[in-house]
A and B are shown apart, each in its own frame.
Chain A
């Protein structure tokens, strides 16, 4: 039924409206954690997980709490609180049950407690799918898809970027452009390349 729509959401959020390159969400980890590939991969995985999970949670809050009681104006407040405490909870949970995993992912989880990409996907979900009168199941699937794919798009771009920046280490870049400025230039060029995907029709 909505198979086609799901594909459109996925392609759109991974390539056309990529969170980093076109919506500018999550730039801090994009610039900060993209210096080498391994951390970038872990960061991407953490963000994907948290994005998917918080899409589900905020879907629940919005459709079962905010909407029935007509207190949609509390969206910002409730979303940020729930997401932040959820990430903390996950962090503590992992620390307790799998110290090995915590050693890898702990620091990244701490970094994304208030990541704008995570919060952004929740807000976008509510703007795009939750405000309209859809059945619970439909909006749930849409939110889940968008949350997961936004994370995938984030990871892909972060990985590309980390690969490029590893190579830039050996480049004779003009001194004032080193590090952050050149990272932005690379991001800009990547964003140009991603614009080739605009206007896809299915």
Chain B
């Protein structure tokens, strides 16, 4: 049990997909304009990672290694399609806000990387925990970045005004702000890990 928990934790800290491995940055930057969007994206991606991890690890012994990548792609694309349809049906606003980045989960490197590097070599249970951990790490990073961007760029957190008379800097919810925030955040992470 302790071991499984470790698989879960490593995705959040030591191998955090965004800050440590710099995977899946495209959606991270594009949809992190508000916490709601960021969280929605994180949950959607978590579902896909979890689903593909389960299926891939379950049939890992039947997939010929030569065509494993196409197989992974089909599996991942199936789950992405599920997410797309579900989101369109039940969360139309979120689906509109995330736009083309929902189908783009299919090319999110995190999903593929976990399928290839972890799920195809480990058991189903382990892969579940790995998927959950990676998903949680990704979601956390998204919420962090979108929180910073929402606070500075819109003056709000989760839609609530935090400081009155604060003049939000529009830049942060636009494209340059996203790149600036991720650059500085990775810099801070480096600073902390180099100090230690």
Chain A interfacial positions (CB closer than 8 Å to B): 21-28, 31, 73-77, 80-81, 84-85, 113-116, 119-120, 123-124, 127, 174-177, 180-185, 187-189, 191-192, 195
Contacts and interface: CB of A to CB of B under 8 A. Distances in A.
Nearest to A118: B107
B182 to A, nearest CB: 5
A25 B109 CA distance: 12
B187 interface: yes
B104 A191 contact: no
Contact of B100 (A81, A85, A127): A127
B93 interface: no
Contacts of B112: 114
Interface of B: 22, 25-27, 29-30, 69-70, 73-74, 77-78, 80-81, 84-85, 99-100, 103-104, 106-109, 112, 171, 174-180, 182-184, 186-188, 190-191, 194
Tell me whether chain A's interface is mostly helix, strand or loop, or mixed. Answer: helix
A31 B187 contact: no
Given A24-B26, A124-B100, A74 B180 contact: no
Given A81-B70, A81-B77, A119-B106, A180 B186 contact: yes
Given A77-B81, A80-B107, A176 B25 contact: no
B26 A181 contact: no
**Most B-side CB within 10 Å, residue of A24, A77, A188:** A24
A180 B21 CA distance: 11
B97 to A, nearest CB: 14
A29 to B, nearest CB: 11
A25 B191 CA distance: 27
A177 B187 contact: yes
A175 B81 contact: no
Given A177-B183, A189-B176, 13 more contacts: A74-B81, A77-B77, A80-B106, A85-B70, A116-B108, A175-B190, A176-B187, A180-B22, A180-B186, A184-B183, A185-B180, A185-B183, A195-B174
A115 B77 contact: no
Contacts of A76: 77, 80-81, 84, 103, 106
**Most A-side CB within 10 Å, residue of B177, B182, B183, B191:** B183
